[in-house]
Structure 1
């Protein structure tokens, strides 16, 4: 289904017909960060009025006077007792502050997003350092602390010159949570940099292509009969066997993929080129 929903996301998420439980694979949200920035109004309600949530989101200034009703409705109606207790704990020390107003806006939306996600689903919440610690505690209660996956650091700008008595703020945070311990995951990779290739692909073949040497032996623990043989007069050390069959070893040698050490009697190794590998797995920075 490809569909764009127009309006306050909480109203749509609360519609059980449009968004039944466990119906969504992936959520990415980039809510306002309570950073006092000004943004453009993106939508209006069918009546033509700007929704209260959107008005405060896109002036990014949060007032408890406007959030109090939302907070109390959430406390009275949220079925998750642990989340209610967390919000009450926040209120006990944040008082009626702009940050508390911001959390009062976020909590009901995060609860609904958890409801609509499939057991294999994941959520990515984009925020900044001023609120990430509160949001992480809130998400720990909603999704479960064991389903926290990563706090991803995204450098969003270059260095600031006008920094006074503190370090420059150049990053945002992305909190990654899954619904269960078995989320759907498609591993992503970054291309190898030239420096990485020069460092780790430390051999050069006759055509000038860089490669590294990979072990061609494996543990005997799960060896099959096709891995137990002598090849080119060489046998693996005790407790080791060949990782590939004799036919595959012959094919690799014919393709020029075997690295032979200069030392007599040395173990042959497999030439691994950059294009043989998918790249560097993305990290959390």
Structure 2
């Protein structure tokens, strides 16, 4: 339950129309409900610190939670953001999956390393796990985006800018929302980023670009620094002459003829003219080899290509390539954007020391680039995989930050997509019912009451997570009236609720239906979805020629959740096997150490926020990343620390993390 609600716009600007143009231009079902949500405010939840990396004097944050709740927390703390870049879901209908790689068994890693080098890349044993779904209907998406953009605007400083990265699926609709929220006069550019080469298999015209909408909060007071793009080939071709050392140059005019303000009249090397600079400067350029005598007689300057900054960036960005499969920065995150793209945006619309935020942070590229460019950062995302990917990336870069988690119920579900796949088996008696609208997840048959429709919040749609008066109003006046007249009862599950007593009073005060409404907490159903991982380890003090300190040796590791995924993968692979593609099951050793992706030791505190005093990450090829430093070593099944460890944390290859006291 939220602690309280934070107003979206505490003091509305006189004349600002909340949902005015939006309702007039984009009329659709659900807009009235959104208006009620905005009037209610942003839900503020308890924030729990999960980990502190470094001293973090700049207050950098990696937040697991939804955008609106994160903005409520920032607003309550008085935090103002100077630049926002967001790459939200595109309403494209796509599902995104994380590639899960089985690590090498450290007990036999060296022995099999040579054999694995001889295998094709396809032989690396891996399976996919759904991370999240970009599956929306247009109405829900626009309401969701409007709410998020309103929340973001509430935490932007007066000089702040926002860049919203979308594509052809929904971008033109969101542009209208942004015109209303930020003002048409504050629209600066629609940037076109060519993200792919031509599509030779396109049915019509290939869609190979994204749109980035750039707005400032103020009309006159904002940050914008000129950034540069490489010159095009036609311009570069002008620099056709070269010095002996290979430097390319073009000829430049040194005379002041035709320029206002006059010039310097003198003779140099037999040539008299009105020059742009005094004689002393001409002599210096000559000594530096920066002038040349033309064939027709005259003195010209040498303009070197490598000394020019480039073309001031235009709104068509053709020079930044997407992250390819071989890129050093690649993190195997489905929607990862290139660092060069974010670097251009941050350099243009912020100065050093300013605060940059990404509320749909994904792979953490915005936070990573902001840190490298001397900015403070906030990375926010609802997905645990995003938080882990960004956290590990920032540790490797030497960044300092806090990892925070919004306690709104979302943290119960590491993977909402897979939980939704299993939801029907978790609710006793729930079955599909073809006659019901898609609003209802299914129905339960009762000998006395007959069919009981069941509503279950979609864990992939954050807008349905909270049961409030707005959602209950929709159930009472839209969903229930569409049911068959024989329905006597419905069951409404919720993940979070504004105030159960308030909701019950709202139901009791409504006389539009005689259908009984039973409220149930979904958390009680999902508590036992995932069985915790188990580990066997021993800790010893070590003193030898190479190391002095403590060592935790992992003897065995069991992850029921990962093993279930492997079993599902093997079953599908067996069914799809053929003589040309024989069945090759994923097999796990008795020790199970191949299921471990990351280990960390806390030598500072036995409880509370985590302090990673020593950590190891095993990449998909089996190489160890030790305390953020990449190596070409294989993991030996142990983790070491200088001080005595108090706690051990292990992350399995699907992303689940478990802690044990030592």
Q: Settle same-fold status: TM greater than 0.5.
A: yes
Question: 1:222 Cα shift?
Answer: 3.9
Q: 1:25 aligns with which of 82, 87, 92?
A: 82
Write the deviation string for residues 97-138 of structure 1: whole angstroms up to 9, x where unpaired. Answer: x21211100112212222322233211101111211111111
Q: Is 1:281 matched up with 2:339?
A: no
Match of 2:332 in 1: none
Question: 1:172 Cα shift?
Answer: 1.5
Match of 1:92 in 2: none
CA contact (8 A) 1:127 1:172 kept: yes
Question: 1:192 Cα shift?
Answer: 4.9
Distance 1:210 1:107, change over 3 A: same
Match of 1:228 in 2: 264
Question: 1:216 Cα shift?
Answer: 2.1
Write the deviation string for residues 118-171 of structure 1: whole angstroms up to 9, x where unpaired. Answer: 23321110111121111111111222222222212223333445433x222222
Question: 1:25 Cα shift?
Answer: 1.3
CA contact (8 A) 1:12 1:18 kept: no
Q: 2:290 aligns with which of 245, 257, 261?
A: 257
Distance 1:280 1:103, change over 3 A: same
Question: 1:208 Cα shift?
Answer: 4.4
Match of 1:270 in 2: 301
Question: 1:201 Cα shift?
Answer: 0.7
TM-score, normalised to structure 1, is 0.68
| Separation of aligned partners in 2, 1:217 and 1:182 | 39
Q: Secondary structure at the match of 1:200?
A: coil
TM-score, normalised to structure 2, is 0.31
Match of 1:84 in 2: none
| Separation of aligned partners in 2, 1:275 and 1:36 | 45
Match of 1:13 in 2: 71
Write the deviation string for residues 241-273 of structure 1: whole angstroms up to 9, x where unpaired. Answer: x33222111100111111221113x3x221011
Q: 1:168 aligns with which of 184, 206, 211?
A: 206
| Separation of aligned partners in 1, 2:197 and 2:246 | 37
Match of 2:91 in 1: 34
Q: Secondary structure at the match of 1:59?
A: strand
RMSD: 2.6
| Separation of aligned partners in 1, 2:200 and 2:97 | 28
CA contact (8 A) 2:247 2:306 kept: no
Larger helix fraction of residues:
1
CA contact (8 A) 2:293 2:300 kept: yes
Which of structures 1 and 2 has the bigger CA Rg?
Answer: 2
| Separation of aligned partners in 2, 1:248 and 1:102 | 62
**Unmatched tracts of structure 2, length 5 or more:** 1-57, 99-130, 318-662
Match of 1:248 in 2: 281
Question: 1:40 Cα shift?
Answer: 5.7
Q: Is 1:177 matched up with 2:235?
A: no
Q: Secondary structure at the match of 1:125?
A: strand
Q: Secondary structure at the match of 2:62?
A: coil
**Unmatched tracts of structure 1, length 5 or more:** 42-56, 63-97, 237-241
Write the deviation string for residues 208-245 of structure 1: whole angstroms up to 9, x where unpaired. Answer: 4321122224465345xxx4331314222xxxxx3322
Match of 1:128 in 2: 167
CA contact (8 A) 1:192 1:279 kept: yes
